[in-house]
């Protein structure tokens, strides 16, 4: 690493005081960037991720354009699934589509194990390329959490209500927990390989776990999440948890052996603190606000920053991901505002 390495994000993740609030954006790599759209005209997501030089370019582009304090590896939560026998294709306008969905315990038992160096070497090569040669900010690796992965594997694709997933969970608990075990082990192995390759932090996306109530989360999901984070703690990198529409689970996440609780826009930071969340928090501007006039964006961002800076341990992010209609110049301007405003406040 060069002497100019920016570790502000890592300090905040550990709950330390920083000179400014660090910022990165979920889905910052791609989608709204014209350079990425030009690449997507030639290659699919999976094709991009299989080319380390190209994938590294897409990953570092928002850091170079917006001056963000962290990069997140460009890939999809589906990336490790083919290695264990899941036939998945990411279809434009639809999302992941799985042609061999899980329907029984026998289907679960057919699933294999992941061997990252053999199965996803391109992911590890991209990480090495970024962390050894290109980035001056931390690289965040990531993985999908077992519930969210299972929801795609059981539904066969995206779902609005997860009826098949929940019914499988309730009706076939033995098969369900066997699936959680398989996905839990895959996640641990996959994530550890990312850290070994050079990732400086890890975010676990349980995007759709908000579909469950607290009682079901504690019984059906929390044990495997505890096992995952307990195993990853050994890697000594910050661990982040995030889900959408899951404010009712924030305290459950806080109880896990992780470092950062990600919040979507539904739960204000001051309310999360009042509930007893003392760990670092990350969030939580509603991404839809990025289409509003700048005055509105600034006002909303300032209010979130004021709440976040009330105590050390805060990382600015969106409450979910950047979407294609967002102007990259808006993200650049927002990043500059976050840095300048927070630095002026924290220096007092």
Dump the DSSP string for 160-197.
Answer: SS-HHHHHHHHH-HHHHHHHHHHHHHHHHHHHHHHHHH
Q: Is 31 annotated as a binding residue?
A: yes
In angstroms and rounded to an integer, the radius of gyration of the C-alpha atoms of the chain is 19
- Bridge-partner residues for 77, per DSSP? none
| 80, 125, 243, 337 from 193: Cα distances, Å | 12, 11, 23, 36
Q: Is 30 annotated as a binding residue?
A: yes
Q: Is 27 annotated as a binding residue?
A: yes
Q: Is 207 annotated as a binding residue?
A: yes
Q: Is 115 annotated as a binding residue?
A: no
Rounded to whole angstroms, the Cα distance separating 46 from 26 reads 19
Sheet of strand 71-72, all strands in order from the earlier edge strand to the far edge? 71-72, 139-144, 201-205, 239-242, 260-262, 280-285, 314-318
The owner of tokens 């192995």 is: 189
Contact 154, 86 (CB under 8 A): no
**Per-residue confidence (pLDDT) for residue 158, from 0 to 100:** 92
Token pair, residue 62, equals 């928002």
Domain boundaries, the chain: 8-346
Cis check for the bond before 276: say yes or no (omega within 30 of 0): no
**Per-residue confidence (pLDDT) for residue 3, from 0 to 100:** 56
Q: Is 60 annotated as a binding residue?
A: no
Rounded to whole angstroms, the Cα distance separating 47 from 87 reads 16
Q: Is 37 annotated as a binding residue?
A: no
Rounded to whole angstroms, the Cα distance separating 276 from 241 reads 16
- Maximum separation of any 2 CA atoms in the chain, in Å: 62
* Helix, strand, coil share (%) of the chain residues, nearest 5: 55, 10, 35
**Per-residue confidence (pLDDT) for residue 2, from 0 to 100:** 45
Q: Is 282 annotated as a binding residue?
A: no
If the chain, 348 residues long, is cut into consecutive pieces of 10 residues, what is the mean pLDDT of each piece?
81 97 94 91 92 97 96 95 95 89 97 98 98 96 98 94 97 98 98 98 97 98 98 98 97 98 98 98 97 98 98 97 95 98 94
Residues 6+ apart with CB under 8 A from 173: 220
Burial of 273 (C-beta count, 10 Å sphere; 0-12/13-18/19+) = middle
CA angle 196, 124, 227 (to 5 degrees): 50
CB atoms within 10 A of CB 257: 14
Residues 6+ apart with CB under 8 A from 342: 20, 21, 305, 309, 316
- Nearest CA to 160 out of 216, 102, 95 is that of 95
What is the pTM assigned to this prediction? 0.96
The owner of tokens 């289907």 is: 107
CATH classification code of 8-346? 3.20.20.210
Token pair, residue 37, equals 């759209």
Contact 73, 127 (CB under 8 A): yes
Q: Is 320 annotated as a binding residue?
A: yes
- The 8-class DSSP code of residue 291 comes to G
Beta strand pairing status for 95-98 and 88-91?
A: antiparallel
**Per-residue confidence (pLDDT) for residue 1, from 0 to 100:** 43
Q: How many CA atoms lie within 13 A of 29 on its CB side?
A: 22
CB atoms within 10 A of CB 279: 18
């Amino acid at each position: 690493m060069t002497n100019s390495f920016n570790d502000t994000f890592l300090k905040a993740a550990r709950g330390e005081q920083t000179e400014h609030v660090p910022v990165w954006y979920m889905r910052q790599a791609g989608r709204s960037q014209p350079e990425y759209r030009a690449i997507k005209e030639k290659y699919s997501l999976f094709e991009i991720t299989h080319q380390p030089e190209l994938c590294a370019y897409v990953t570092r582009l928002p850091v170079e354009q917006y001056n963000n304090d962290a990069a997140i590896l460009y890939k999809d939560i589906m990336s490790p699934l083919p290695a264990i026998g899941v036939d998945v294709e990411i279809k434009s306008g639809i999302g992941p589509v799985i042609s061999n969905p899980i329907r029984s315990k026998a289907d679960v038992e057919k699933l294999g194990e992941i061997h990252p160096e053999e199965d996803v070497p391109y992911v590890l090569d991209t990480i090495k390329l970024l962390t050894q040669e290109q980035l001056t900010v931390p690289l965040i690796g990531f993985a999908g959490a077992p519930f969210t992965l299972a929801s795609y594997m059981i539904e066969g694709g995206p779902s609005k209500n997860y009826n098949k997933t929940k019914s499988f969970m309730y009706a076939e608990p033995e098969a369900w927990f066997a699936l959680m075990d398989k996905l839990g082990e895959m996640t641990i192995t996959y994530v550890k390989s990312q850290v070994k390759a050079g990732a400086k932090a890890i975010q676990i996306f349980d995007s759709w776990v908000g579909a469950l109530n607290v009682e079901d989360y504690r019984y059906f999901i929390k044990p495997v999440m505890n096992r995952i984070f307990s195993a990853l703690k050994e890697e000594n990198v910050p661990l982040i948890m995030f889900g959408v529409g899951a404010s009712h689970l924030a305290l459950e996440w806080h109880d896990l052996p992780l470092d950062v609780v990600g919040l979507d826009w539904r739960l204000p930071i001051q309310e999360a603190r009042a509930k007893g969340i003392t760990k670092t928090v990350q969030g939580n501007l509603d991404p839809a606000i990025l289409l509003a006039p700048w005055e509105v964006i600034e006002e909303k961002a300032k209010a979130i920053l004021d709440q976040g800076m009330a105590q050390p341990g805060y990382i600015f992010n969106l409450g979910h991901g950047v979407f294609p209609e967002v102007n990259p110049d808006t993200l650049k301007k927002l990043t500059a505002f976050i840095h300048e405003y927070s630095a002026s406040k924290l220096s007092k």
